């Protein structure tokens, strides 16, 4: 997964240098590959090292930096996947009026401000994460603590523990709801388009647009599947004061599947 995301990033950097610009959907996919790479580096790699018996990987400061970066990357992953599905839905939608036509024309100019806003908002929202993150102490895990193996996220009381879990779940469900809605709209348009062009030879632009839409749909479906498994485990974790390490490892595995597999769909 790490190598695949790096290859995607290098491919888009090459396109940017060779052609002096990226298509809007390529810019979003490039950003998604960067965020997924951060996800794997800050959660998948240290968790894997811990599973293989490596201890004391990070001190308190290292835990705060890694957990903060991971929380931002995880939030950005769902935000950018949602952004990608909405962007593609607007792109393939027929220009039914002047407002939609203007929006389509302005989409490329809106990308950079949207990326900046997403980074700023998620950095602000996740600012509390470092205050709860510490290095493991003497092999003991206090109640209401997420044991990541390489770090502990200690919420100290049940209220903080549950509120954090509910806030993360509500945010994720909201974005996934928007993803599924825009993806359903794309599916409807693709179905209509296929019926209209059965007897007509499709243009190259139409074929490329259709392939891009299908890639976006596959990414959304992949995210929704692993998101569902991840959140079933997460809801279970909220119901217990101390989470068994095997459960935490399972959640890391499933939450790492999307950033590991998504670059293969992009390629």
pLDDT in tens, 75-102: 898 899 888 888 888 887 776 667 777 7
Q: Is residue 242 part of a domain?
A: yes
Q: What is the pLDDT of residue 34?
A: 92
d(CA 111, CA 250): 35
The tokens for 158 are 């049940």
153: β partners: 133, 146
Least confident of 11-15, 70-74, 178-182, 246-250: 246-250
Give the residue with greater pLDDT, 151 vs 265. 151
pLDDT digits (tens, 9 = 90+) for 36-74: 899 889 888 888 887 777 777 888 888 899 999 999 998
Q: What is the pLDDT of residue 69?
A: 92
Residue 265 has pLDDT above 80, yes or no: no
Q: Which of 34, 35, 125 is nearest to 77 (CA)?
A: 35
Q: What is the pLDDT of residue 72?
A: 92
d(CA 39, CA 31): 12
Q: What is the pLDDT of residue 154?
A: 82
pLDDT digits (tens, 9 = 90+) for 6-18: 888 888 888 888 8
Q: Is residue 165 part of a domain?
A: yes
Q: Is residue 66 part of a domain?
A: yes
Name the domain count of the chain: 1
pLDDT digits (tens, 9 = 90+) for 111-162: 889 999 999 999 998 888 888 888 887 767 777 777 777 888 888 777 887 8
Q: Which of 206, 205, 203, 223 is nearest to 266 (CA)?
A: 223
Q: Is residue 260 part of a domain?
A: no
Q: What is the CATH classification number for the domain harbouring 114?
A: 1.20.1070.10
Q: Is residue 24 part of a domain?
A: no
Residue 199 has pLDDT above 50, yes or no: no
The crossing angle, in degrees rounded to 10, of helices 24-39 and 2-19 is: 150
Q: Is residue 30 part of a domain?
A: no
Q: What is the pLDDT of residue 196?
A: 60
pLDDT digits (tens, 9 = 90+) for 153-176: 888 777 887 888 788 888 888 888
Give the residue with greater pLDDT, 96 vs 189. 189
Structural domain boundaries, residue 100: 56-255
Q: What is the pLDDT of residue 116?
A: 93
What's the mean per-residue pLDDT of the chain? 80
Q: What is the pLDDT of residue 97?
A: 66
Q: What is the largest CA-CA distance in the chain?
A: 71
d(CA 219, CA 186): 13
Q: Is residue 40 part of a domain?
A: no
């Amino acid at each position: 997964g790490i190598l695949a995301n790096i290859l995607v990033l290098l491919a888009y950097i090459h396109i940017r240098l060779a052609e002096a610009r990226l298509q809007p959907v390529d810019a979003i996919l490039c950003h998604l590959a960067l965020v997924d790479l951060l996800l794997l580096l800050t959660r998948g790699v240290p968790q894997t090292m811990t599973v293989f018996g490596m201890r004391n990987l990070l001190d308190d400061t290292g835990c705060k930096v890694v957990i903060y970066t991971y929380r931002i990357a995880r939030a950005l992953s769902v935000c950018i996947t949602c952004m990608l599905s909405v962007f593609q839905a607007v792109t393939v939608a027929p220009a039914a009026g002047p407002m939609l036509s203007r929006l389509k024309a302005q989409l490329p100019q809106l990308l950079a401000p949207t990326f900046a806003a997403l980074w700023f908002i998620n950095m602000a929202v996740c600012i509390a994460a470092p205050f709860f993150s510490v290095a493991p102490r003497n092999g003991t895990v206090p109640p209401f603590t997420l044991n990541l193996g390489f770090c502990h996220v200690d919420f100290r009381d049940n209220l903080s523990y549950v509120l954090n879990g509910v806030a993360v779940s509500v945010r994720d469900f909201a974005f996934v709801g928007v993803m599924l809605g825009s993806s359903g709209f794309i599916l409807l348009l693709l179905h209509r388009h296929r019926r209209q062009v059965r007897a007509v030879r499709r243009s190259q632009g139409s074929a490329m647009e259709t392939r891009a839409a299908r890639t976006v749909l596959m990414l959304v479906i992949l995210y929704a599947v692993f998101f569902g498994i991840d959140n079933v485990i997460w809801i279970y974790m909220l119901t217990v004061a101390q989470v068994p390490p095997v459960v935490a490892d399972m959640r890391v595995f499933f939450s790492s599947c999307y950033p590991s597999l998504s670059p293969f769909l992009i390629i």
